[in-house]
Amino acid sequence: QVQLQESGPGLVKPSETLSLICGVSGGSISGYYWSWIRQPPGKGLEWIGFIHSSGSTTYNPSLKSRVTISVDTAKNQFSLSLTSVTAADTALYYCARVFRTVTEAFDIWGQGTMVTVSS
Amino acid sequence: DIQMTQSPSSLSASVGDRVTITCRASQSISSHLNWYQQKPGKAPKLLIYAASSLQSGVPSRFSGTGSETDFTLTLSSLQPEDFATYYCQQSYSVPLSFGGGTKVEIK
């Protein structure tokens, strides 16, 4: 079955760029939409954006000026870049597959990776 | 942006109880509503999509109803493994958004 695994630095300095990769195993990345979602410690979930395997993207307007999501179909992975980070970006970052029917739901999730923004 | 409001924010219940969680959207979202369960230290798990469709592998004691602005997740008979936090999520418009969560605790 399809599995997702996030990877990247657990600590990022303020004003720098957060970069994460989500590796997809057990299935192809092609033909699907993929998403990043984050959860600050003890808080709720925030959708960051999604990307189709073709490369088309949709971002949360609140983060759009700082976010880039890209896909590498050859490596079966997609990535997140968030620039100019502050302490408010400290969160558990999840990647997820988008299940599109009548609605868009997140049906497969990675385990999450904690990113702390601190000097 | 569409705001999703869940109630209650927490509840205490016993094994075997019937539990109902409500999610209200700030504007009509038709049936573009999904429900998730999250246990401590784990990623959310999709339970219900499109307001009332049960995700594959999810026990039938979970059910969802509603449309437009008002939605309900019901657990017909609470089991020990159901103690968790539940989130609703709308996909009617960008930005996709989640409710604040409902924590179901053991009474």
Among the partner residues A45, A58, A112, nearest to B98 by beta-carbon distance: A45
Among the partner residues B55, B91, B101, nearest to A107 by beta-carbon distance: B55
Measured between beta carbons, the chain A residues lying within 8 angstroms of B49 are 99, 101-103, 105, 107
- The CA distances from residue B37 to A66, B18, B42, B62, B106, in Å, are 30, 16, 10, 11, 16
Read off the pLDDT of each residue in A41-56 and give the average, rounded to a whole number.
Answer: 96
Per-residue tokens: B79: 């089991």
Measured between beta carbons, the chain B residues lying within 8 angstroms of A96 are 43
In whole angstroms, what is the distance from residue A67 CA to residue A18 CA? 10
Checking if the pLDDT of B106 tops 90, the result is: no
Burial class of residue A56, CB neighbours in 10 A (0-12, 13-18, 19+): exposed
Chain B nearest C-alpha distance from A88 (Å): 18
| pLDDT for res A100 | 85
- Give the confidence band of A92 by pLDDT, cuts at 50, 70, 90: very high
Read off the pLDDT of each residue in A84-94 and give the average, rounded to a whole number.
Answer: 98
* Residue of chain A with shortest Cα separation from B56: A107
Residue B55 per-residue DSSP state: P
Checking if the pLDDT of A102 tops 90, the result is: no
